[in-house]
């Protein structure tokens, strides 16, 4: 009984997208001194958030490659971690979004655990799945909290829409959580029935995940709504 490459790679893609809604597209920072003025975000906050989205450009690659190496994810995540850490902790909005920064680091560590699990270490599998479920719950909790701060802000409606996490993403993460619950029990008990149920749920989640906006789409929505 094992955790497949699909589970590992799809966890990579979705958790990366939902933590801070920080998936980015290719390209660089806008460098526009007036960006963010019309939306109420302001140039400094706009540039800081834009840097997070852009730094996460590589995450789209992991969403498309089921055989991606978690070690590559750890390297690709470093610019996102740095951009996220640079957010102003004194600013109410940015500070709330910054709460998710540690999750990016945790995810890089978690994916290495999944790599050990995929290589056949049963104990590593149980730990990886359990920790994976915990991280999913944190992503949903922090995402909902930051969405609330964004929606209560004085930003324009278009900018709010560009900053909140896509609803479909929450649904898919919850779906993964259900699959991981069955998988965790299967790993502990050896139940083939639970394992089959887990794989069915996770396969369906993988299909639904393809309807979650890509990093490039999220970056475009942010720039379009908040510029």
- Please report, for residues 10, 72, 80, 99, 193, the alpha-carbon distance to residue 111 in angstroms, rounded to integers and kept in the order given: 11, 10, 16, 20, 26
pLDDT in tens, 116-129: 666 666 677 788 88
The overall average pLDDT reported for the chain is 77
Local structure of 167: helix, strand or coil: helix
Exposure of 211 by Cβ count < 10 A (0-12 exposed, 13-18 middle, 19+ buried)? Answer: exposed
Number of domains in the chain: 1
- Note the pLDDT of residue 24: 36
pLDDT in tens, 205-224: 878 888 888 778 888 888 99
- DSSP code at position 163: H
Lowest mean pLDDT among 80-84, 107-111, 142-146: 107-111
Which range marks the domain in which residue 123 is found? 5-226
* Model pTM score: 0.78
**pLDDT of residue 22 exceeding 60:** no
Can you give the C-alpha Rg of the chain in angstroms? 18
């Amino acid at each position: 009984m094992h955790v497949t490459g699909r589970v590992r790679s799809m966890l990579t893609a979705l958790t990366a997208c939902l933590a801070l809604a920080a998936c980015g597209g290719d390209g660089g920072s806008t460098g526009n001194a007036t960006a963010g003025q019309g939306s109420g975000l302001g140039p400094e906050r706009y540039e800081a958030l834009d840097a997070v989205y852009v730094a996460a450009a590589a995450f789209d690659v992991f969403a498309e490659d089921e055989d991606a190496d978690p070690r590559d994810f750890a390297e690709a995540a470093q610019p996102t971690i740095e951009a996220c850490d640079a957010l102003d902790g004194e600013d109410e909005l940015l500070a709330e979004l910054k709460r998710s920064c540690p999750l990016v680091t945790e995810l890089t560590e978690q994916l290495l655990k999944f790599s050990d699990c995929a290589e056949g270490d049963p104990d590593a599998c149980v730990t990886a799945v359990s920790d994976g479920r915990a991280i999913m719950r944190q992503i949903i909790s922090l995402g909902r909290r930051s969405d609330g701060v964004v929606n209560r802000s004085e930003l324009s409606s278009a900018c709010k829409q560009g900053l909140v996490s896509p609803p479909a993403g929450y649904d898919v993460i919850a779906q993964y959580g259900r699959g991981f619950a069955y998988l965790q029990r299967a790993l502990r008990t050896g139940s083939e029935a639970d394992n089959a149920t887990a794989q069915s749920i996770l396969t369906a989640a993988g299909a639904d995940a393809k309807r979650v906006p890509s990093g490039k789409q999220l970056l475009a929505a942010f720039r379009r709504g908040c510029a």
